A and B are shown apart, each in its own frame.
Chain A
């Protein structure tokens, strides 16, 4: 019988916010034939706005964050500080991970996360028709606006996910809250169940579950030279005044 599908695993700690977004763009556009799973953190802390989000919605929050960038994916604003881990998945739209309706791909990705979180004692599920206590109007924050496909636990949203689809490929990235900060009160947090959970430990747990979930073999790698070059070139774009104020 066939072997496991080869996937690439990238881990980039403490990335500059614009660079983080630019490297995700490189993973979407540069078409390494292998699906790529990436884990990353942010330094300094930053606010990321959704692609169509109006900057004016967030001017107050933007003043509270050291750095502001805009994502190429949609949705609301996310505060990326030391209390979170960001993941991204990049593959062709025809790959079993992303094939079919957007809704189905979210069920797969969030199912993976939920089954991994269960090892930490977290009972996470898709929100469906339930109300959650993290929803609140008018903040512009992603974690304060839930949808049926969002992953919730302890009655609140704990993962903020979004996709960008371009050129027959999909980038799905998401913020997982270990401990949300002051800009995102009331959201779910993994450290309520695993108080000393560190981003690296969570990344290792998720990587192990990805191999089990999707029957893949993850090969730890560094970003390719052309991906690093793309990220270096495009980092400034994601934090530029022109892109931030496009809406």
Chain B
């Protein structure tokens, strides 16, 4: 079961409270879809500059596996306060620990609520993934 301390998007990002901010990353499902368990297949990642303002659903960066470039999308509106430089340099972290060390950006959200209907809890995300396989 995926962590229940955060919400999930249909584009496979997660968002979790972190003090006054939120942390954003991508799920193990997204990583698996991109690289099929080959952590060396994740080759590049572009993250935004701190200070950038984002709308919910807006693309804030991209990640490349050896065969696909995929968008990274903001789960909530707000301002980027910090990026995980370590992940940009060591993308294998996303395979090994997408939930903690693999956070991508920290956002100061416009609203602290994560109750938007587009955001799923862990159980709903599990069901969403299961449905997508059929």
Contacts and interface: CB of A to CB of B under 8 A. Distances in A.
A72 B69 contact: yes
Contacts of A181: none
A91 to B, nearest CB: 14
Interface of A: 51-52, 72-75, 94, 99-103, 106, 147, 149, 161-168
B15 interface: no
Contact of B32 (A94, A101, A163, A168): A101
Interface stretch (B59-67, B76-84, B102-110): B59-67
Contact of B67 (A52, A72, A99, A163): A163
Q: What DSSP secondary structure best describes chain A's contact surface?
A: loop
A103 B69 contact: no
Contacts of A168: 10-11
28 contacts: A51-B69, A52-B43, A52-B44, A52-B46, A52-B69, A73-B69, A74-B43, A74-B65, A75-B66, A99-B133, A100-B133, A101-B32, A101-B33, A102-B33, A102-B35, A102-B36, A102-B67, A147-B67, A149-B67, A161-B67, A162-B69, A164-B70, A165-B68, A165-B70, A165-B71, A166-B59, A166-B70, A166-B71
B132 interface: yes
A151 to B, nearest CB: 12
Nearest to A161: B67
A186 to B, nearest CB: 21
A165 B33 CA distance: 11
B67 A165 contact: no
Contact of A74 (B10, B64, B132, B133): B64
Interface of B: 10-11, 32-36, 43-44, 46, 59, 62, 64-71, 132-133
A42 to B, nearest CB: 21
Contacts, number: 65
Contacts of B132: 94, 99
Nearest to B71: A166
Contact of B44 (A74, A101, A147, A166): A74
B69 A102 contact: no
A164 B34 CA distance: 11
Contacts of A74: 43-44, 64-69
Contacts of A161: 67
Minimum-distance CB pairs A-B, first 3: A163-B68, A52-B44, A165-B70
B67 A106 contact: yes
Contact of B68 (A99, A100, A102, A167): A102
